[in-house]
């Protein structure tokens, strides 16, 4: 189905099932521990052996020699895979560093061997007996030092230095100016389930049970790396214990399981041990950002400039932290620039709201600082600089943009008028209290997504698509979509996901999953409805689907009967025309945060949080709310504690476990409120939906930072805002 004109009324608009806060249909499996995660699939293939990954002990250099003899004599030893015996390996389209290193080492904990043994403990013990001699070479591990050797770099599909007007001329002449630098640290996805895979060969065909967000990308990259045809690779990933972008790509677990299984001539399972994850896999790269804003005295932005520096391994990409600055506020003279330095730290790549998260952490502090300079309320300042068109290309309107409504609704609900504009004035016992606000924007990305729908003789609708559910609720919203379209209750819908033998979907990433994958299911259901109508001799335009039946004129037939013994199948994809070019499609949020800062110790406690989102039709308010509160929690982590500590001499992330890399716990998170504005966006898809999974993270960190400033009068521009950055500025306790 081609989607190239705005949606008109369609069966989804009935909203009998779509738009309802339906419980997650996979919930009971999760809460009873029966959802089969990759590493636990003991039943899918017999005779599984265990692989254990050996990571490089140096950041850069080469393996001089590797002694496997002791490991090979260890109890239970079956096989070992190294670059020496793995055969020629290609590199996946989405990988920067090789997933099996050696003799050259590109980063710390790059996998250099997989030891396979009968049991997990034996594999681990044998892996610890692999002796490696390295020759270290110098590397660059310090972004601040590498910053000056940058090259211009383009983010995904964006030019390196986009801009309009004359920023260089307009900024210095602006009556009110801000010029400030901000930094964000490296972040780890730190998802609950580590990367894990079981691989089994049958002849030259490979099946991998894994934990992966993008089935189709990963099939391609696994085939390419192994040098086999993609038709020979089957990937199965029905349940994923969190990904946050860390499982978008083929990673070492899947590749090494495949190589290990080939070497051991048995199925092999591999999970990445937690201490390996921070350095072996990808992370969100640190940024250094400079923001300049010039405005008239009445608060109209005349010049806005945003530059961002990040680093990556040779051949890698930048953290595109400036992209939202191109769209969020008006202003005639604009400059944005993305700079990439070579760093020999592990590979940087996408993490939830890539670009937006660190970019808005900076931009939205800058807006707060600018509002203060102007003597304006930070909400009013944002309202004055709203734009309903793409500021770089005013002929391109936003399909929907209710940012002002988000801000105003939030202000009302949160009691923003109780905020004291003078920072550092409010105290509640040992706490200095304050409120902060920040805006966020996340684009709505359109990608082809396909599904297959079957109707059987019991009237059951089965949906098959390689879409994944990374804890987001994909199973549920897809079931809701199919139920709405086919006029059946939810318990007559079966959803099967995450299998490369199913039609290729958008996958889970970039908050594009919900809208595109349900639109794909919509397309397939439209086809199935036609097939039903045709079979019954109905005119498909006036066939009405409801209550498990299809009705036309005075004829009513149950779907079960319509399907008959052989059933009916339809497959289709949603494919997008030019609406994404004609319109800027984005989602919007206003975040409100109240904090208390301990006047003695500088510890920050979040007291209240509110997010108001405008994100098109909300397909399921319950799962959408879960996405947003999870993202808000992640934002609190980024604001207050998350930081991969870089050892700049040895070139690795030191705090590489969950004791050292702190993410928020329950005690850090207060009551969180989420409001979705009533909105539909017919430009986005027949679902009129967008996404919220990344939107929820956009701006949270800055809202926390601004609240801390309001509470204490201390402006911290370097994340995370740990207490050591506040101590010197706090009053005598």
Of 558, 530, 721, residue with least CA distance to 639: 721
Here's the x/- map for other proteins, 267-296, by CB under 8 A: it reads as: --------x---------------------
Rounded distance, CA 514 to CA 692, Å?
Answer: 9
Choose one: 333-341, 353-361, 618-626, 724-732; the region binding other proteins (CB under 8 A): 724-732
Instruction: Work out how close the CB of 599 gets to other proteins at its nearest, in angstroms, rounded to a whole number.
Output: 8
Angle between helices 356-374 and 700-712 (to 10 degrees): 40
Asked if 4 touches other proteins (CB under 8 A), the answer is no
Q: If you ran DSSP here, which 8-state letter would residue 601 be given?
A: T
Instruction: Work out how close the CB of 668 gets to other proteins at its nearest, in angstroms, rounded to a whole number.
Output: 5
Q: Which residues of 292-303 are buried (b: 16+ CB within 10 A; e: fewer)?
A: bbbbeeebbbbb
Peptide bond into 643 cis (omega under 30): no
Task: Report the residue number, 40 or 662, with the smaller CB distance to other proteins.
Answer: 662
Asked if 125 touches other proteins (CB under 8 A), the answer is yes
Task: Report the residue number, 134 or 381, with the smaller CB distance to other proteins.
Answer: 134
Q: How many CB atoms sit inside 10 A of residue 564's CB?
A: 12
Task: Report the residue number, 276 or 519, with the smaller CB distance to other proteins.
Answer: 276
If DSSP codes are grouped into helix, strand and coil, which group holds residue 680? Answer: coil
Rounded distance, CA 517 to CA 443, Å?
Answer: 16
Q: How far is C-alpha 397 from the geometric centre of its chain's CA atoms? A: 26
Is 247:212 a contact under the CB 8 Å cutoff? Answer: yes
With a CB cutoff of 8 Å and minimum separation 6, the contacts of 431 are 596, 597, 598, 599, 605, 711
Q: How many CB atoms sit inside 10 A of residue 424's CB?
A: 18
Instruction: Work out how close the CB of 719 gets to other proteins at its nearest, in angstroms, rounded to a whole number.
Output: 13
Asked if 43 touches other proteins (CB under 8 A), the answer is no
Rounded distance, CA 480 to CA 175, Å?
Answer: 54
Contacting other proteins within 609-668 (CB under 8 A): 640-641, 645-647, 649-650, 654-657, 659-660, 662, 664-668
Task: Report the residue number, 75 or 394, with the smaller CB distance to other proteins.
Answer: 75
If DSSP codes are grouped into helix, strand and coil, which group holds residue 64? Answer: strand
Task: Report the residue number, 20 or 124, with the smaller CB distance to other proteins.
Answer: 124
Task: Report the residue number, 132 or 301, with the smaller CB distance to other proteins.
Answer: 132
Instruction: Work out how close the CB of 435 gets to other proteins at its nearest, in angstroms, rounded to a whole number.
Output: 20
Instruction: Work out how close the CB of 626 gets to other proteins at its nearest, in angstroms, rounded to a whole number.
Output: 22
Q: How many CB atoms sit inside 10 A of residue 673's CB?
A: 18
Task: Report the residue number, 406 or 730, with the smaller CB distance to other proteins.
Answer: 730
Task: Report the residue number, 467 or 595, with the smaller CB distance to other proteins.
Answer: 595
Pairing of strands 493-496, 461-464: parallel
Task: Report the residue number, 386 or 603, with the smaller CB distance to other proteins.
Answer: 603
Asked if 386 touches other proteins (CB under 8 A), the answer is no
Rounded distance, CA 484 to CA 479, Å?
Answer: 8
Instruction: Work out how close the CB of 635 gets to other proteins at its nearest, in angstroms, rounded to a whole number.
Output: 14
Here's the x/- map for other proteins, 579-608, by CB under 8 A: it reads as: -------------------x-xxxx-x---
Is 509:245 a contact under the CB 8 Å cutoff? Answer: yes
Rounded distance, CA 221 to CA 258, Å?
Answer: 13
Instruction: Work out how close the CB of 659 gets to other proteins at its nearest, in angstroms, rounded to a whole number.
Output: 7
Instruction: Work out how close the CB of 425 gets to other proteins at its nearest, in angstroms, rounded to a whole number.
Output: 20
Instruction: Work out how close the CB of 431 gets to other proteins at its nearest, in angstroms, rounded to a whole number.
Output: 12
The residues carrying an active-site annotation are 694
Placement of tokens 């005119």 in the chain: 539
Of 727, 685, 658, residue with least CA distance to 278: 658
In degrees, rounded to 5, the angle at the alpha carbon of residue 225 between the alpha carbons of residues 222 and 228 is 75
Among left, alpha and beta (phi > 0; psi -120 to 50; other), residue 299 is left
Contacting other proteins within 411-440 (CB under 8 A): 430
Judged by CB under 8 A, how many residues of this single chain contact other proteins? 41
Asked if 723 touches other proteins (CB under 8 A), the answer is yes
Distances (CA, A) of 434 to 74, 412, 669, 707, 716: 60, 16, 16, 5, 15
Residues that bind other proteins (CB under 8 A): 57-58, 75, 121, 124-125, 128, 275, 430, 598, 600-603, 605, 640-641, 645-647, 649-650, 654-657, 659-660, 662, 664-668, 722-724, 727-728, 730, 733
């Amino acid at each position: 189905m081609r989607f190239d004109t705005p949606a008109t009324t369609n069966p989804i608009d009935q909203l009998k099932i779509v738009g309802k806060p339906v419980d997650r249909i996979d919930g009971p499996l999760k809460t009873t521990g029966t959802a089969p995660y990759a590493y636990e699939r003991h039943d899918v293939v017999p005779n599984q052996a265990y692989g254990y990954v050996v990571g490089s002990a140096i950041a850069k250099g080469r393996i001089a020699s590797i002694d496997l003899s002791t490991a090979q004599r260890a109890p239970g030893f079956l096989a070992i895979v190294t670059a020496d015996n793995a055969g020629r390996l290609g590199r996946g389209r989405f990988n920067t560093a090789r997933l099996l290193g050696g003799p050259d080492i590109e980063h710390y904990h790059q996998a250099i061997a997989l030891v396979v043994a009968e049991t997990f403990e034996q594999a681990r013990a044998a892996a610890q007996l692999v002796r490696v001699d390295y020759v270290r070479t110098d590397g660059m591990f310090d972004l601040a030092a590498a910053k000056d050797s940058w090259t211009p770099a383009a983010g995904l599909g964006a030019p390196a230095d986009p801009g309009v007007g004359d920023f260089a001329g307009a900024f210095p002449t602006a009556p009110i100016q801000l010029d400030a630098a901000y930094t964000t640290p490296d972040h780890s996805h730190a998802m609950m389930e580590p990367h894990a895979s079981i691989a089994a060969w049958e002849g030259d065909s490979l099946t991998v049970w894994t934990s992966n967000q993008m089935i189709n990308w990963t099939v391609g990259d696994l085939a390419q790396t192994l040098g086999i045809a993609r038709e020979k690779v089957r990937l199965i990933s029905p349940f994923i214990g969190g990904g946050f972008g860390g499982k978008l790509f083929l990673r070492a677990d899947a590749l090494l399981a495949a190589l290990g299984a080939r070497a051991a001539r048995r199925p092999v399972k591999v999970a990445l041990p937690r201490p390996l994850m921070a350095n072996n896999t990808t992370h969100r790269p640190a940024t250094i950002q400079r923001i300049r804003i010039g405005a008239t005295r009445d608060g109209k932005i005349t010049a806005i400039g945003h530059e961002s520096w990040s680093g990556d391994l040779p051949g890698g990409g930048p953290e595109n932290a400036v992209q939202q600055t191109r769209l969020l506020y008006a202003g005639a003279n604009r400059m944005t620039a993305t700079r990439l330095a070579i760093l020999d730290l592990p590979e940087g790549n996408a993490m939830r709201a890539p670009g937006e998260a660190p970019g808005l952490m900076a931009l939205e502090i800058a807006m707060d600082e600018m509002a203060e300079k102007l003597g304006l309320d930070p909400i009013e300042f944002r309202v004055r600089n709203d734009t309903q068109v793409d500021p770089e290309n005013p002929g391109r309107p936003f399909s929907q943009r209710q940012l002002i409504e988000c801000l105003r609704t939030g202000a009302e609900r949160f009691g923003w008028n109780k905020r004291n504009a003078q920072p550092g004035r409010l105290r509640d016992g040992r706490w200095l209290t304050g409120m902060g606000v920040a805006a966020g924007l996340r684009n709505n990305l359109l990608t082809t997504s396909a599904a297959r729908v079957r109707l059987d003789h019991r009237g059951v609708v089965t949906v098959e698509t390689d879409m994944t559910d990374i804890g987001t609720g994909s199973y549920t919203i897809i079931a809701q979509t199919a139920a709405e379209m086919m006029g059946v209750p939810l318990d007559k819908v079966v959803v099967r996901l995450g299998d490369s033998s199913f039609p290729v979907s958008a996958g889970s990433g970039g908050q594009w999953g919900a809208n595109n994958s349900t639109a794909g299911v919509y397309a397939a259901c439209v086809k199935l409805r036609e097939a039903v109508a045709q079979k019954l001799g109905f005119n498909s335009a006036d066939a009405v689907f409801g209550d498990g039946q299809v009705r036309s004129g005075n004829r009513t037939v149950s779907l079960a009967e319509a399907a008959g013994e052989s059933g009916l199948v339809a497959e289709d994809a949603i494919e997008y025309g030019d609406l994404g070019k004609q319109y800027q499609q984005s989602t919007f949020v206003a975040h409100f945060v109240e904090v208390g800062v301990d006047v003695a110790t500088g510890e920050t406690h979040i007291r209240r949080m509110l997010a108001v989102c405008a994100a098109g039709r909300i397909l399921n308010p319950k799962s959408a709310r879960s996405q947003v509160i999870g993202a808000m929690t992640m934002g609190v982590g980024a604001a207050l504690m998350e930081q991969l500590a870089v050892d700049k001499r040895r070139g690795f992330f030191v705090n590489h476990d969950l004791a050292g890399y702190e993410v928020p716990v329950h005690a850090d998170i207060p009551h969180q409120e989420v409001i979705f504005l009533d909105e539909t966006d017919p430009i986005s898809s027949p679902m009129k939906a967008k996404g919220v999974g990344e939107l929820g993270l956009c701006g949270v960190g800055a809202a926390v930072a601004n609240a801390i400033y309001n509470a204490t009068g201390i402006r911290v521009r370097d994340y995370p805002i740990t207490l050591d950055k506040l101590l010197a500025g706090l009053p005598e306790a």
